[in-house]
Amino acid sequence: MLGKLFKYDWKSFWKVPAAINIFLLIITIIGAISLISPFWELDYEIIDTLMIVAILFYYLALFAGSIAVFAYIAIRYYKNVYTDEGYLTHTLPVAPRDIILSKLFVGAIWSFITALVMGISVFIILSTAISSVELWEIIQEFKSVVIPEFEREMGMSIYVFTLLVLLYMIINTFFSILMIYSSISLGQMFTKHKVAGAVIWYIAEYVITQFGFSMIINIPLMKLFSYDSDINVSIPAGTIGSTVNMMLFSTMLITVIIGIILYFITEYMMRKKLNLD
């Protein structure tokens, strides 16, 4: 049944995020074309200001795009599960687990696609802005100096590190969506103003988890900074690397644990506390 749910969830979901991503690509193409135009070579003071405005606009477009996809994930879940559409969703002979997982995967896939499109967009803009000779020099510098130094310090190859960061991004995407789903489900405990209830739960979850994560990151960082305060003691080789590794692994582990807890909250609310108006 999960496959069937996924099929219909995908059908009812894809149009809006696809449109948002197409919009982002159009902005990118316009940006790239304008960057190679001779306009920016003109010798007026206002040109610099215009460049800043253009960059700001581009940044805002990327930001708005990712927020819009996330907002749409929340809206679709709320509408399909807790409004009139819920009368069909919850009378299908399917388990609450399948309902949640299907929407979780559809939402996560579109989040990845959006992240990918944004990455491609930034790459296109940067490679247009920087001349190919400069870009080549930067890449060579990275290969010969930065990456070996980085690998020595971290004690792992750059590829493994990149994979770990990607894995963290994937985990974090699922986690962020589960935060939305669980807060919408918990918002149903309010007899009136259920949407406001969901927002309150979301803020509460956000504050608590951010506080937890900042603790994981700040405590080891403070230890690192303590070396810095004494100029006679240099930081032992590999300390930064092992600290970063520890932060990455512990953040990942805790994200997975809290994510699983949020999933079970969502499922519990759907299985035991469902009260459609």
Partner 1 sequence: METLAEIKGLTKSYGKTLAVNNMNLIIPRGKIIGLLGPNGSGKTTLIKMMNGLLTPTAGSISINGCAPGITTKARIAYLPERTYLQDGMRVCDIVDYFSDFYKDFNRNTAFTMLQSLNISFTARLKTLSKGTKEKVQLILVMSRNADLYILDEPIAGVDPAARDYILKTIISNYNENASILLSTHLISDIENVLDEVIFIRDGQVMAHLTVDQIREEYGRSVDSYFREVFAC
Q: For binding to partner 1 (CB under 8 A), which residues are involved?
A: 1, 4, 7-8, 11-12, 84-88, 90-95, 191, 272-276
Residues whose CB is less than 8 angstroms from the CB of residue 221 and which lie 6 or more positions away in sequence, other chains included:
243, 247
**From the CB of 265, what's the least distance to partner 1, in Å?**
16
CB–CB of 212/221 below 8 Å? no
Alpha carbons 99 and 92: distance in angstroms, whole number: 10
Q: Token digits for 98?
A: 């399948």
**From the CB of 268, what's the least distance to partner 1, in Å?**
12
Cβ closest to partner 1, residue 86 vs residue 259: 86
Residue 270 neighbours by CB distance under 10 Å: 22
Q: Token digits for 120?
A: 């491609």
**From the CB of 223, what's the least distance to partner 1, in Å?**
49
Residue from 113, 23, 26, 20 nearest 67 by CA: 20
**From the CB of 98, what's the least distance to partner 1, in Å?**
10
Q: Token digits for 122?
A: 């930034």
**From the CB of 11, what's the least distance to partner 1, in Å?**
8
Cβ closest to partner 1, residue 182 vs residue 255: 182
Cβ closest to partner 1, residue 31 vs residue 197: 197
Alpha carbons 213 and 171: distance in angstroms, whole number: 14
Residue from 77, 82, 71, 83 nearest 5 by CA: 77
**From the CB of 269, what's the least distance to partner 1, in Å?**
10
CA 112 to chain centre: 8
Cβ closest to partner 1, residue 95 vs residue 200: 95
Cβ closest to partner 1, residue 27 vs residue 194: 194
Cβ closest to partner 1, residue 80 vs residue 183: 80
Cα angle 240, 157, 147; round to 5:
70
